Structure 1
């Protein structure tokens, strides 16, 4: 038992030396940062919550502070776009927005423009959202089809809402007869097999409409329901 403890302590010391040596890489390189966090986990070290001692001093503002500051930026982006998407936004879109803003600020403050680089990863954004979730307010990530989405409102989304959004996300490149992120009531009836439950569809769509998570477009007597968060996600992929 003592041998195992000694081994862990030695590994922790080596990890400390590694962190000191690669401090700038941990702060500036999202891929390197993720690998570092993976190295910490088996040793029972969580630099995200260690605000005292080595982890606070050696890493400058601290990697924990890095994610606290990032969580504020994530919240700002989500709040700024809430009127457009109803409080649901793709992790990839938030990541792209923050990277563009960071690179723009850097280039504006330097005489020589630096080539745009990935300063935050989608994993960084997900970690930041987990920090926000502990503060309340409804922040959380959900899976819609193949995409990770951030929900920034306390609205409860049940299985019916998730199935409808997943169906909209599945209409990639016009699949299912509709553009990406767009569905009709007939799509829901046929593909989710809810043909005999119009009330169920109305209840689910009504909440999504009221929250602004879906837009309604009537064309030639047919109501098309657009999901801005899903539609934007598909545009970014394409």
Structure 2
């Protein structure tokens, strides 16, 4: 019995030693894998920096190429705005950090200057057009993607700048700290289809709303949020509401 017990103890010790050996081997393998991953990331970063540096001018001037580069970065989990220094890779590699923030300042300029007439809600295409005019660049040089990316840099301001999807791929930009409810989003979408004009009758016909619901949504946009004008002399004979952000203005 004593001999068998000794054999059992030796087997137990051998098992413990094997477990320690496997743990040490696992640690060594994990360390090697981490080091290999770091080496791969350094190599990848160097390759991406070389590509960005080589094509810097084209990325700055060609919106299609710039957005293709952004999509490539996004597909592999790299954010050009994130990096070791403020401004990330835009500033570090492409020298585009100032460009991005300058665009953000111009977006603020347009939003503030048009706020009196649109209540702080502007259609994305209109914003792109006015920013392009402010920058005195050819149409298409500044795109919706550029504006969306720059608006992300404005969030720390806490001023409520946000891109709102109103359906069917259409977007608007809000530049005031206020939330739009679901009914107001519906009103905005219909207003864009109608050139800015909405009425209680139109909402009832299009959405099947009760009179009270349609009236409440429009009156809230008029009285509470200042997002529309009331036309009491509309040709239909009934009051109509003009949603300022859905109207196009010649400037």
Q: TM-score range by the shorter chain?
A: 0.7 to 0.9
Deviation at residue 103 of structure 1 after TM alignment: 2.3
1:208 to 209, 221, 242: 221
What is the root-mean-square deviation of aligned Cα atoms in Å?
A: 2.5
Larger radius of gyration: 2
Runs of 4+ in 1 over 6 A off after TM superposition: none
Normalised by the length of structure 2, the TM-score is 0.74
Give the equivalent residue in structure 1 for 2:48.
Answer: 15
Are 1:39 and 2:76 matched, yes or no? no
- 1:177-196 pair list within 5 angstroms: 180-195=195-210
Q: Report SS of the residue matched to 2:82.
A: coil
Are 1:129 and 2:151 matched, yes or no? yes
Deviation at residue 143 of structure 1 after TM alignment: 1.5
- 1:9-158 pair list within 5 angstroms: 9-50=42-83, 52=85, 55=89, 56-60=91-95, 63-103=96-136, 116-146=138-168, 147-158=170-181
Deviation at residue 77 of structure 1 after TM alignment: 0.3
Q: Report SS of the residue matched to 2:188.
A: helix
Give the equivalent residue in structure 2 for 1:109.
Answer: none
Normalised by the length of structure 1, the TM-score is 0.78
For 2:139 and 2:183, the matched residues in 1 are separated by: 39
Gap regions ≥5 residues in structure 2: 1-32
Q: Report SS of the residue matched to 1:134.
A: helix
Deviation at residue 117 of structure 1 after TM alignment: 5.0
Gap regions ≥5 residues in structure 1: 105-115, 172-179
